[in-house]
Structure 1
Amino acid sequence: MSDLTAIIAGRGALPAHLARVMAARGLPFLVAEIEGAGMVPEEGWEVVPFALERLALLFDLFHDRGVTRVVLAGAMTRPRLEPERIDPKTAILLPRILPALGQGDDAALRAVIALIEEEGLCVIGAETVAPDLLPDAGVLTATRPCAADEADTARAAAIVSALGAADVGQGAVVAQGLCLSVETLPGTDAMLDWVAEIAGACRPDPDGPGGVFYKAAKPGQERRVDLPVIGPTTVEAAHRAGLAGIAIEAGGVMVLDPVRTCARADALGMFLWVRAP
């Protein structure tokens, strides 16, 4: 079989979603799952595990199988390399990857993309496979943000823009004008869990606006990979944190399973706002 798309799968639900979309459309694909990602494949999927220490061998497999396109999906944990596992061909590539791994996520991903493209493979964004992942601007729920929510969102957007310029994070929580937390390497779930623990003590008015979780792409980031993703579990986590709703950057954040995500937000009385930049 030729002209395959390879899904390089990290953690989370996005890789499986893309695989389901491609399977439903009859498009040939294989899944290259980074070790430890924990993907549960469905019947008929070809899943090939790989480790960064053997990246060159993965490229060889792609060429042998006729892969022409690659989509990177899911969270990628920075690996702790095991030198004894590195094959000679990958050893030639690692000096180009290792310096980038010590920088921000965007720098690391740009280095990986450059290697993939040098192999003659086309890197595409997840939204190319599943365009419905990027919703149009507007409020997607019955509950709408109030004036205080809009002000908190504007404050959070400014914070995320500053964080993103430093290649640090893609999200922030603001309540009553105060930043309760920002997203760093542990990710969105860890941030919202922490807010859930401390939120009550941090809000000046316990009975005032609950606050907003805002998420956006980093300014100037490579948008074919690492676009932020939210879904039903994000809504649940934001609710546990006592927040009034979630706002995301239009065109910069993917919504996984949008029907279920919006339905869960509606059930919890929360808003989901796709905010134009």
Structure 2
Amino acid sequence: MSDLAIIAGQGRLPGLLMQADPQAHVAGLQGFAPDGAESFRLEHLGSFLAGLRARGTKRIVFAGSLRRPSIDPTAIDAATAPLVPRLAMAMRQGDDALLRAVISVFEEAGLSVIGPTDLIPDLLPAQGVLTRAEPDSDAQGDADRATALLRATGPADLGQGVVVASGQVLALEALPGTDWMLESVAALRGDGPLARPVPVGGLLMKRPKPGQDRRIDLPVIGPDTVRRAAAAGLHGIAIEAGGVMILDRAETVAAADDAELFLSVVP
């Protein structure tokens, strides 16, 4: 039996980790746990941690997306009550603070938190252009602008993505996420009520927040990201080397080639 537990949310990444360690125990928050996984409530986190230790779990990996659950104060059990003040304070401070608090709670329970890329290093591509299309000088200028913006907004615990065209910021990732952001750009360029005159082309840049703990909530792209970027009229995607995972890389690169988008891994 594996000493690994996968705390799984939604999306493709948890399934890839299950393939990497088929014997791992899989669990998830109620409402987000994959089929067949152990489901637990945040109000019972302390008891859940005790159960992990009892089954011999030593390593934890978090994977997949989820929304912040609502908490029922009347359902908090005795083992979880001491954790509530810290988690409640972190929830008011933003996603990064909350994730750091969650990691510390698991580590204080004697569990080692690892990142998905510790199990599947190939999720992180090497620096370079992965597609037939390559970024031109205009795209490089947009990438520089996007990088500067994300480095400025990251400390404020904003998102990990931005869309820039001709040096203009069309969208900055926030709580709704990357997919919603790209769909918003598509709406800007459509013929509906949200349409506005904006520059053509542009790129999506994805980077982790400065100082982010890269064991959890590392940015991810995949084939659906490429398709949404194409639908938004972008010319390409740039991601940080060592900081953004690509799921189903061959399919993702093929989708970009089909759409004649560039996919660039940058410093």
User: Could you tell me whether the CA contact under 8 Å between 2:57 and 2:111 is conserved in 1?
Assistant: yes
Deviations 1:168-204 (A, max 9, x none): 1111000111000000111111111111100363324
CA distance in 2, matches of 1:9, 1:251: 22
Pairing of 1:58-97 with structure 2 (within 5 A): 58-97=48-87
Q: Which residue matches 1:273?
A: 264
* TM superposition shift of 1:40: 4.4
Pairing of 1:76-155 with structure 2 (within 5 A): 76-155=66-145
Residue 18 of structure 2 is aligned to residue 19 of structure 1: yes
User: Could you tell me whether the CA contact under 8 Å between 1:180 and 1:199 is conserved in 2?
Assistant: no
Instruction: Normalising by structure 2, report the TM-score.
Output: 0.95
**Large movers: runs of 4+ above 3 Å:** none
* TM superposition shift of 1:38: 5.6
Q: Which residue matches 1:228?
A: 219
> What fraction of aligned residue pairs are identical, expressed as a percent?
50
Aligned residues: 262
Instruction: Normalising by structure 1, report the TM-score.
Output: 0.91
Deviations 1:176-235 (A, max 9, x none): 11000000111111111111100363324xxx5x11000001001111111101111100
Which of 240, 243, 248 aligns to 2:234? It is 243
Stretches of structure 2 that go unaligned for 5 or more consecutive residues are 191-195
User: Could you tell me whether the CA contact under 8 Å between 1:71 and 1:123 is conserved in 2?
Assistant: yes
CA distance in 1, matches of 2:247, 2:66: 18
Q: For 1:214, what is the secondary structure of its paired residue?
A: strand
CA distance in 1, matches of 2:114, 2:88: 23
Pairing of 1:254-273 with structure 2 (within 5 A): 254-273=245-264
Q: Which residue matches 2:169?
A: 179
The RMSD of aligned alpha carbons is 1.3
CA distance in 2, matches of 1:121, 1:114: 10
